Structure 1
Amino acid sequence: MRKYNVAILGATGAVGQEFLQLIAERNFPFQNLKLLASERSAGRKIDFLGKEYTVEEATADSFKGVEIALFAGGAASKTFAPAAVKHGAVVIDNSSAFRMDPEVPLVVPEVNPEAIRNHKGIIANPNCSTIIMVMALKPIHDAVRIKRVVVSTYQAVSGAGKEAIDELSDQVKAVAANEPVEARILPSASLPAHYQIAFNLLPQVDVFMDDGYSKEELKMVQETQKILDDPAIAVTATTVRVPVFRSHSESVNLELSGPLAANEAKKLLAAFPGIVVEDDPSRQVYPMPLTTSGRNEVFVGRIREDNTVSHGLNMWVVGDQIRKGAALNALQIAEYMIEHNLI
């Protein structure tokens, strides 16, 4: 099998580290590997598959000779993606910089792989919450068109980075020791006010827009419509940060254009690649963040009909947002391109 020159931008962060773990797990065919990060992380040594790599500061020239560039996300994407493409690399980007660009495919490989073929050098990875949700929407939408989606998310702190993980851990310890609790990161380090996340819920993920919805909520609306190629789907979201380290959960309510029994929905979901149905209320079987962390699949349970509308369905959807919600989805895009000789 041919091997490829790969670069990871943001290699020292949570998603970058997950890239490395998944490359090893999945035997991704790389020839040379370049680990890139900001000036602050440059020089750091990382042992990977028996070899020591030195993290380099990212520059426009870092992508010379690179064929696949995996971007972990962040503001650097806008700066370096065009440079990487200029040097001949295909960029798979985890940031929000290019997702709604009509010239850039927004891809979940199980859902809309055909969009990959239309790329012009950059392929966007959707928002983690969107990826997890559309995985569960796709088989139902194909069978009975979805008219409306009402989703409430329960998002793990790791979605806000390693600093948020550390903050939750420190706050839990402080509460247990009856010591003062310090809040510096959440809802976002860039915001003027910060709140305790330990034993609390924060109904804000990202900044608020003028209409009262958060940017995260808007992403779920627009990205779902683009990925499913159906701008008529009505989506409304409420996104919430919860004191969980890893794996996002979502309560999803659907209004369908026709009838679909809960049992039929379970069969459709169970047959869809990348989905595991865990749904046995009599035995208290349902997905939870604790049991889905570190897993590649999206888990669906609590599947039941909503009788308050003509054709309604409720689902509980859980997935590891660092894996399927970020690094794994991007790597699957690269694998698809390799398998179909698109690179």
Structure 2
Amino acid sequence: MGYRVAVVGATGNVGREVLNILAERKFPADEVFALASSRSIGKELSYGDKILKAKDLQHFDFSTVDFAIMSAGGSISKEWAPRIAAAGAIVIDNSSYWRYHSDVPLIVPEVNGDVLDRWLADPKRTGIIANPNCSTAQLVVALKPLHDAAKIKRAVVSTYQSVSGAGKEGVDELWNQTKGIFVNDSPTPQKFTKQIAFNVIPHIDVFMEDGYTKEEWKVLAETKKILDPKIKVTCTAVRVPVFVGHSEAVNLEFENPISADEARDLLREAPGISVLDKREAGGYATPVETVGEYDTYVSRIREDNTVENGLALWVVSDNLRKGAALNTIQIAETLIEKGYKARAKAA
């Protein structure tokens, strides 16, 4: 018996990617429902070789589905996730709202999928599972095998994040500004705080009292929750004029010795990682090569001699895939592997 899946926020960038990946990976779904707000009812969306028409979230019966994959923003998740879970569906939420709740697991299957064993066995579980921030997801995939081998003490992360992380408005703004500059139009920032075309902006999300932005805090808090609360993390998050694909320069300090060669071998054997690390021109991954790929790419692996037991890495991934849509589907796949059964269908 196959599963029934509702995709909430199906008309957005991530929602559309969820539909694409469900089809690509041949997820065992008997039926998939595309849900959106009332203004998008009837909009046609591709799901493999099928066309789905968006249904109204407000009037959908969630007691008929096994999984609800949510990519509709924090306010929608805050209101709807508990209601959907109460109807018996497992909610896998891509917003930031539930990530920091102590009773909601924050999952990257390659890193802490074992948490789902305990979650499934808990009769008091909330029914909600959180998907991490796009920058965190690719980071912890790369850190996990290294942490297991030599125990990370401190991570310094600088992100170079594409405009698709800011939604369709971010993509449109980069496209329109780029075109406009070539015809001498003055670029007017709307979605971003400054011109994004041919520029970089060291500001993502709101500023906090300590001078960090919320995006930077997410990387810190989520890395600790997913990987190890003892790791010290600092981050600078930067928006760059790239349409899809987040990059990260990562400096690590370990408790135990680990060489670049050892790290390279560990990463090559780790799930969800491709190593592209030739010490020559072009022997590294960039966002362009990762678009449409499932893996997180790691390059520029080298020893950092400014600290004892230090390494430096370059980490790149398709933020709409591993950073969002793919990870939610992998969570559902992991639950199925661990024995979660589809609910009996009403007669």
TM-score, scaled relative to structure 2: 0.94
Q: Is the 8 A contact 1:292 1:318 kept in 2?
A: yes
CA separation of 1:11 and 1:114: change in aligned 2, threshold 3 A: same
Q: Distance in 2 between matches of 1:78 and 1:172?
A: 36
**1:157-198 deviation line (CA, Å, top 9, x unaligned):** 000001110110110001111112122111xxxxxxx32100
Q: Is the 8 A contact 1:8 1:34 kept in 2?
A: yes
Partner of 2:269: 271
Q: Is the 8 A contact 2:24 2:48 kept in 1?
A: no
Q: Is the 8 A contact 2:71 2:93 kept in 1?
A: yes
Q: Is the 8 A contact 2:117 2:338 kept in 1?
A: no
**Larger CA deviation: 204-213 vs 70-79:** 70-79
| Structure 1 gap ranges (5+) | 187-193
In the TM superposition, 1:1-343 aligns within 5 A as 2-59=1-58, 61-74=60-73, 75-119=75-119, 120=125, 121-186=127-192, 194-228=193-227, 230-343=228-341
**Larger CA deviation: 278-287 vs 154-163:** 278-287
| Structure 2 gap ranges (5+) | 120-124, 342-347
Indicate the SS of the match to 1:64. Answer: helix
Q: Distance in 1 between matches of 2:260 and 2:44?
A: 51
CA separation of 1:61 and 1:21: change in aligned 2, threshold 3 A: closer
RMSD: 1.2
**Larger CA deviation: 27-36 vs 207-216:** 27-36
Residue 338 (structure 1) shift = 1.1
Residue 73 (structure 1) shift = 4.1
CA separation of 1:49 and 1:232: change in aligned 2, threshold 3 A: closer
Residue 61 (structure 1) shift = 4.8
- Structure 1 residue ranges, 4+ long, deviating more than 6 angstroms after superposition: none
Q: Distance in 2 between matches of 1:210 and 1:169?
A: 33
Indicate the SS of the match to 1:205. Answer: coil
Aligned length: 334
Residue 276 (structure 1) shift = 0.6
Q: Distance in 2 between matches of 1:226 and 1:256?
A: 19
Q: Distance in 1 between matches of 2:31 and 2:45?
A: 15
Residue 67 (structure 1) shift = 0.7
CA separation of 1:284 and 1:54: change in aligned 2, threshold 3 A: closer
Residue 258 (structure 1) shift = 1.4
Residue 342 (structure 1) shift = 2.3
CA separation of 1:61 and 1:17: change in aligned 2, threshold 3 A: closer
Q: Is the 8 A contact 1:60 1:84 kept in 2?
A: no
**1:244-283 deviation line (CA, Å, top 9, x unaligned):** 0000000000010011010000000111011011111134
Indicate the SS of the match to 2:114. Answer: helix
Which one-letter code corresponds to 2:12 in the other structure?
G
Q: Distance in 2 between matches of 1:105 and 1:299?
A: 25
Residue 59 (structure 1) shift = 2.0
Residue 40 (structure 1) shift = 2.3
Partner of 2:344: none
Which one-letter code corresponds to 2:232 in the other structure?
A
Q: Is the 8 A contact 2:138 2:316 kept in 1?
A: yes
TM-score, scaled relative to structure 1: 0.95
Indicate the SS of the match to 2:18. Answer: helix
Q: Distance in 1 between matches of 2:223 and 2:61?
A: 33
Which one-letter code corresponds to 1:276 in the other structure?
S
Of all paired residues, the percent bearing the same amino acid is 51
Q: Distance in 1 between matches of 2:36 and 2:72?
A: 11
Residue 44 (structure 1) shift = 1.3
